[in-house]
Amino acid sequence: MPAPRQISIAVIGAGGVGKCFLSQLSQLASTLSRSSSIPTYLSLILLSTSKKSVHYADYKAISDWQSELQSSSSSPLSPKDLADYLSKAPGKPILVDNTSNQSIADSYPIFLENGVSIVTPNKKAFSSTYKLWTQIFAAAANGTGTGGYIFHESSVGAGLPVISTLKDLVETGDEIRRIEGVFSGTMSFLFNSFQPTSGGGGKFSAEVKTAKEKGFTEPDPRDDLNGLDVARKLTILARLAGLKIDSPTSFPVQSLIPKELENVGSGDEFLERLPEFDDRMEELKQGAEKEGKVVRFVGAVDVVKGEAKVGLEKFDKSHPIAALKGSDNIIAFYTKRYGDNPLIIQGAGAGGEVTAMGVTADLVKVIRLLQ
Amino acid sequence: MPAPRQISIAVIGAGGVGKCFLSQLSQLASTLSRSSSIPTYLSLILLSTSKKSVHYADYKAISDWQSELQSSSSSPLSPKDLADYLSKAPGKPILVDNTSNQSIADSYPIFLENGVSIVTPNKKAFSSTYKLWTQIFAAAANGTGTGGYIFHESSVGAGLPVISTLKDLVETGDEIRRIEGVFSGTMSFLFNSFQPTSGGGGKFSAEVKTAKEKGFTEPDPRDDLNGLDVARKLTILARLAGLKIDSPTSFPVQSLIPKELENVGSGDEFLERLPEFDDRMEELKQGAEKEGKVVRFVGAVDVVKGEAKVGLEKFDKSHPIAALKGSDNIIAFYTKRYGDNPLIIQGAGAGGEVTAMGVTADLVKVIRLLQ
């Protein structure tokens, strides 16, 4: 019987995704410790938010974390100190970054070079400068390096198998020609309500308000409406498909924030004044309606031409993008092997549980590779 | 710099999928040998069909295989001898089974116990007796054993990420409630032509003939129309979701072969007499049409009730299953986390290149795990 394996895990972030992840981690730890082939012990050795941090000397029941974090008086470690701490951990070290923090993302190469593996839904590391992208995959064992592994399924489409599928297509020698879809749960909900294929739908500003009330937008809805979230996801997919995209602002991205409201003080003031601009969106809606089409906010990468684009487009009502429901994402891969009918992946692309699921699935993959 | 890795590969089967796989393998071998982190050398040490076999003492350019196989005078090894040969190979051994052979499938436990990993699109191993299923995963390192790894993505939906997604859902603790879809490229093509959502479509027997002429059916179309291929795929998914399905004939499977034609001698005679029974299918079509629906051949697993079922069902014209195109497959996973809107995967579910792609992607995963 082989010796049991020991894995040391540090988790940063305990927000919506972080909470769900910790619950899934607790269940996974219990399953793996009872494995009949090679028992694996997952030790949570550190848990930290932007304000507080808890260190665990020994394995702890992961369910206790909330009260312990509350009563902790330790500040979080700097990324460099955290990398150092993890690389000296007793078991093989994994960092789970459940934040959307840029400075942690900037430090990924240091973690990887020190043999720390990373799983994360944080888009920032993969959609900022091309230089950071190169540094990360030059260090990673699943890039061209010999450091830790890095997996980031949930950085696009939450738990949907988008990144793993694209990697499989590329690694087995398929030619990616075009990737297109609805990459934002917020934008999906907004346009499926604004212009349902069955007709009707409210004014644009009213739908933005409803989306915010239902918790489908960021605290300031402009952070969704500026298109940057979609541009970041598209940057990641375009780079995986082989394009050297400089940054998420290096290609055309249509913002749905009226120029006049870009600089108003608060999200609330923005929402109050948005109705003044409803006519513009209404005109687009009616124009599409006359052609038997609907308006949707999509992203597309034309890999052959080397171009990416984010913004509004019109789709036939029978098109899968038009027929999307709720806040679902849809991603279509057009490739040489799949021909005219793309490989399509569809489903919830946001939400704590499904985002955490992508992180947990990545964690399982890294644990298998670390054996 | 770590030492280069050596992998020994035996490939059985050189038909439609086998040919495409060998071409993808050749490209993969070239990429991996140039890897800048850990170079990996893939050696094809044996290639065999049901009639002939070629052994390679050393690494060979994989492109030469066709003429060498033709001029070989060696017979194929028995599964037991092949397992023995592979377990003594210089590098870590992988068997790629591109056949649909039951007796090779029956021997998988022997290969796995001898430390040989397996990648395969062969449905037989996973959809025959539950006993064989149990033996395979009791031996495999990615089951509860300590032998070789086994991956079979292409046994359902060809290269579509169906099995890997279902495994991720289960391993991360989601509850699978229902799986439904169109699992056969042949049945998809047949019903999309027989009753398009836009109306029209030919007589059923005429569509079967067209499908056969286009190469979308088995040589004897009854091997598609009996529903067994779909039942096998559903058996695999149901078992992965946790149901103990005895065999693909232990749940209701509707055959589209008229009782009267079950025992006619040849596929040609069957096709000649099929028009006599067109009225029955026409009646179903008209019945569905009256309700604004279309008829499709689907499979469904109700995991909660522990039931599986294969056969004809009616769908609203706006339903994703009704709107399918060409010979595409669609698979919908209803789970606790995904709620009412399922996780959907759609695209070509048959064809040499996409099936081989699933096999090659599995091979890459096994190679990473064998490092």
Report residue B164 as tokens: 């890997």
What angle (nearest 5°) sits at the alpha carbon of residue B125, between those of residues B123 and B128? 90
The minimum CA-CA distance between A185 and chain B, rounded to whole Å, is 13
Cα nearest neighbour of B354 on chain A? A337
Q: Are B339 and A345 an interchain contact pair (Cβ–Cβ within 8 Å)?
A: no
Contact A92, A112 (CB under 8 A): no
pLDDT for the residue numbered A56:
80
| pLDDT tens sequence across B356-367 | 999 999 999 999
Taking residue B65's Cβ as centre, other Cβ atoms within 10 Å add up to 22
Q: Are A24 and B360 an interchain contact pair (Cβ–Cβ within 8 Å)?
A: no
Ordered DSSP codes for B233-262: HHHHHHHHTT-----TTSS-B---S-GGGT
User: Which residue is listed with tokens 């009753």?
Assistant: B195
Q: Are B364 and A172 an interchain contact pair (Cβ–Cβ within 8 Å)?
A: yes
What distances in angstroms separate CA A212 from CA A158, A348, B175, one per listed residue?
20, 18, 29
pLDDT for the residue numbered A179:
98
The B residues from 148 to 187 touching A (CB cutoff 8 Å) are 159-161, 164-165, 168-169, 171-174
Inter-chain Cβ pairs, chain A and chain B, closer than 8 A: 138
Q: Are residues B152 and B218 in the same domain?
A: no
Ordered DSSP codes for B18-45: HHHHHHHHHHHHHHHHT-SSS-EEEEEE
| pLDDT tens sequence across B90-132 | 889 999 999 999 999 999 999 999 999 999 999 999 999 999 9
Contact A112, A148 (CB under 8 A): yes
The minimum CA-CA distance between B356 and chain A, rounded to whole Å, is 9
Taking residue B277's Cβ as centre, other Cβ atoms within 10 Å add up to 17
What distances in angstroms separate CA B143 from CA A93, A363, B109, B136, one per listed residue?
24, 18, 12, 8
Q: Which of B92, B233, B285, B293 is catalytic?
A: B233
Q: How far apart are CA A244 and CA B317, in angstroms?
A: 42
Q: What are the backbone dihedrals phi and psi of residue A253, each rounded to the nearest 5 degrees, phi first? A: -130, 120
> In total, how many domains does chain B have?
2
Q: Which CATH number goes with the domain that contains A30? A: 3.40.50.720
Q: Are residues B54 and B87 in the same domain?
A: yes
The minimum CA-CA distance between A89 and chain B, rounded to whole Å, is 23
What angle (nearest 5°) sits at the alpha carbon of residue A160, between those of residues A154 and A166? 85
Give chain A positions within 8 Å (CB) of B30: none
Helix ranges (H only) for chain B are 16-33, 65-71, 79-87, 102-106, 108-113, 124-127, 130-139, 162-171, 185-194, 204-213, 222-225, 228-240, 267-273, 278-290, 352-369
Contact B158, B151 (CB under 8 A): no
Q: Are residues A169 and A290 in the same domain?
A: yes
Is B2 at the interface with chain A, CB within 8 A?
yes
Q: Are residues A136 and A172 in the same domain?
A: no
To test the contact with chain A by mutation, choose from B134, B162, B171, B172 the residue with the greatest count of A C-beta atoms within 10 A, namely B172
Report residue B312 as tokens: 């004809």
The minimum CA-CA distance between A81 and chain B, rounded to whole Å, is 27
The minimum CA-CA distance between B144 and chain A, rounded to whole Å, is 5
Q: How far apart are CA B13 and CA A345, in angstroms?
A: 31
pLDDT mean over B253-271: 93
Question: Residue type at B356?
Answer: A
Q: Which strands make up the sheet holding A40-48, listed edge to edge?
A: A53-55, A40-48, A5-12, A92-97, A117-119, A150-151
Q: Are residues A70 and A128 in the same domain?
A: yes
Q: Which CATH number goes with the domain that contains B230? A: 3.30.360.10
Q: Are residues B154 and B195 in the same domain?
A: no
pLDDT for the residue numbered A36:
65
Q: Are residues B207 and B339 in the same domain?
A: yes
Residue B357: which of A161, A337, A347 has the nearest Cβ?
A: A337
The A residues from 17 to 56 touching B (CB cutoff 8 Å) are 24, 27-28, 35-38
Q: Please give the residue range of the domain that contains residue A66.
A: 5-158+354-369
Strands B150-151 and B307-316: unpaired
Q: How far apart are CA B13 and CA A22, in angstroms?
A: 46
Q: How far apart are CA A348 and CA B336, in angstroms?
A: 12
User: What end-to-end distance do the CA atoms of chain A give, in Å?
Assistant: 14
Q: Are residues A284 and A298 in the same domain?
A: yes
Among residues A65, A57, A56, A97, which one has the least CA distance to residue A79? A97
Q: Are residues A9 and A109 in the same domain?
A: yes
Give chain A positions within 8 Å (CB) of B174: 357
Is B199 at the interface with chain A, CB within 8 A?
no
Query: Where do the DSSP E strands lie in A272-324?
Result: 293-302, 307-316
pLDDT for the residue numbered A39:
81
pLDDT for the residue numbered B36:
65
Is B141 at the interface with chain A, CB within 8 A?
yes
| pLDDT tens sequence across B276-300 | 999 999 999 999 999 999 999 999 9
Taking residue B130's Cβ as centre, other Cβ atoms within 10 Å add up to 15
Task: For chain A, list residues with pLDDT below 70.
Answer: 1-3, 36-37, 57-63
Contact A199, A205 (CB under 8 A): no
Among residues B270, B333, B355, B370, which one has the least CA distance to residue B100? B355
What distances in angstroms separate CA B172 from CA A26, A27, A327, A328, A357, one per listed residue?
11, 8, 22, 21, 6
Residues whose CB is less than 8 angstroms from the CB of residue B64 and which lie 6 or more positions away in sequence, other chains included: none
What would you report as the CA-atom Rg of chain A, rounded to the nearest whole angstrom? 22
Among residues A235, A241, A102, which one has the least CA distance to residue A169? A241
Q: What are the backbone dihedrals phi and psi of residue B178, each rounded to the nearest 5 degrees, phi first? A: -155, 140
Q: How far apart are CA B223 and CA A155, in angstroms?
A: 43
Give chain B positions within 8 Å (CB) of A158: none
Contact A344, A331 (CB under 8 A): yes
Mean pLDDT of chain A: 93
The A residues from 248 to 287 touching B (CB cutoff 8 Å) are none
Q: Are residues A166 and A143 in the same domain?
A: no
Least confident of A27-36, B138-147, B264-273: A27-36
User: What end-to-end distance do the CA atoms of chain B give, in Å?
Assistant: 14
What angle (nearest 5°) sits at the alpha carbon of residue A81, between those of residues A75 and A82? 75
Q: Are residues B222 and B321 in the same domain?
A: yes
Helix ranges (H only) for A146-203 are 163-171, 185-194
Give chain B positions within 8 Å (CB) of A343: 159-160, 345-348
Among residues A166, A133, A120, which one has the least CA distance to residue A247? A133
Q: Is B233 a catalytic residue?
A: yes
In our burial notation (b when 16+ CB lie closer than 10 A, e otherwise), range B187-209 reads bbbbbbbbbebeeebebbbebbb
Q: Which strands make up the sheet holding B53-55, listed edge to edge?
A: B53-55, B40-48, B5-12, B92-97, B117-119, B150-151
Q: Are residues A98 and A194 in the same domain?
A: no
Is B14 flagged in the annotation as binding?
yes
